[in-house]
Amino acid sequence: MKLPQLVLSLFPGIGLLDRAFEEDGFVVVRGPDVLWGGDIRNFHPPAGRFDGVIGGPPCQAFSQLAYIVKAMGKQPKFGNLIPEFERCVGEAAPDWFIMEEVPRAPLPKVVGYGVHTFSINNRQFGATQNRVRRISFGSKGKKRILNLDVVVFENEKYESAACGGHSGSLSRVDRRRVGKPGSIREYRTGTSCLGENYKTAWAFQELKRKQGLPEEFDIPGFTVAAKCQAVGNGVPLPMGLAIAKGVKEAIEAEEVMG
C-alpha cells in the first residue's frame, strides 16, 4: 500500500480509533466533535481529499441502556447522527469508509458504496473485555470484504464491557461492597459503569486497562469523571488495531490486483 493514506475521522472523541489507525501508518485528520465544542452538522469536508473516512456516531440512542434511560423518563443525550456520517462520507467521496456502532444501530447507506457489515467482540483479539460492536466497511463502486485476524482461543479471563456512563443506577455492581478498590463484581452479561467509584482515579485506571491503553495515558485538563466518560466511550485499542490492519490489507490486496 502506498502510504500514507489520508483518513478523515468523524465523531473522534479522544481519538482511540484514530490512535489505532495512526499506529498502522495512516495519517488521520480529526473532524469536529462535541467534546471539543464542535458540531458535525456544520461540517462539510472537501471532496476528493481523503482516501478513507472512519468514525462511530454516538450510540446512546441504540444501546440497551437507552431503554433504561427512557424508562426513567429521560431521553438519550444524542439522537441518531448516522445520517450526518453518511452525508459527510458522500461529500468527501473517499475510496472507503469504516463506521463503528452497536449492533442495534441502523446500517449506513451511502449512494455509490457497497457495504460489508459484521459484528465483532473485543475478546476475539485476545483482550479480556467483552465488548461487541458492529463494523461497516464501505467501498466506492463495489462491495469489498474486510477480513480481521482473530485469536484461536479467547482469553481465559473475562471482564464485562466498560462504558462511558457514570450513573450508579445504570451500573451492575454489588452495592454492599462499593467503595473498596477491586471489590466491584462484574457479571458475565451487562455493563460495568463502576457506579459510585466512577469519579475516582482508580476507576480511570481500570477503564484504561480494559480499553487496552498504556498506564501513562492521560487527558490533561479533564476532570476524572470526564476522563472516564471519554475513555469508556471509545473503541478498545485491540479492536481498533485489528480494524486498521484489516483495512490496510484490503487496500494492499486491491492494489496488487490492479
Q: Which three cell numbers stand for residue 10?
A: 468523524
CA distance 16 to 13: 8
Q: Which three cell numbers stand for residue 91?
A: 461529500
Angle at 30 between CA 201 and CA 194, to 5 degrees: 25
Q: What proportion of the chain, given as a percentage, has pLDDT over 90?
A: 67
pLDDT band for position 62 (cuts 50, 70, 90): low
Instruction: Output 190 or 212, whichever has higher pLDDT.
Output: 212
Give the C-alpha distances (Å, rounded to integers) separating 168 from 60, 165, 171, 202, 245.
Answer: 17, 9, 5, 16, 37
pLDDT at residue 188 greater than cutoff 80? no
pLDDT band for position 221 (cuts 50, 70, 90): very high
pLDDT band for position 59 (cuts 50, 70, 90): confident
pLDDT attached to residue 199: 61
What residues contact 25, with CB distance under 8 A and at least 6 apart? Answer: 3, 4, 5, 248
- The CATH number corresponding to 6-57+78-151+235-257 among 3.40.630.10, 2.40.30.10, 3.40.50.150, 3.40.640.10 equals 3.40.50.150
The model's pLDDT over 41-56, given as tens digits with 9 standing for 90+, comes to: 999 999 999 999 999 9
Instruction: Give the residue extent of every domain in the chain.
Output: 6-57+78-151+235-257, 161-233
pLDDT attached to residue 161: 87
The model's pLDDT over 156-167, given as tens digits with 9 standing for 90+, comes to: 999 988 875 543
CA distance 194 to 178: 9
Contact 189, 169 (CB under 8 A): no
The model's pLDDT over 10-32, given as tens digits with 9 standing for 90+, comes to: 999 999 999 999 999 999 999 99
pLDDT attached to residue 77: 61
Specify burial of residue 246 (Cβ count, 10 A radius: 0-12, 13-18, 19+): buried
Coil, helix or strand at residue 236 = coil
The model's pLDDT over 76-113, given as tens digits with 9 standing for 90+, comes to: 566 799 999 999 999 999 999 999 999 999 999 999 99
Q: What proportion of the chain, given as a percentage, has pLDDT over 70?
A: 77
pLDDT at residue 195 greater than cutoff 50? no
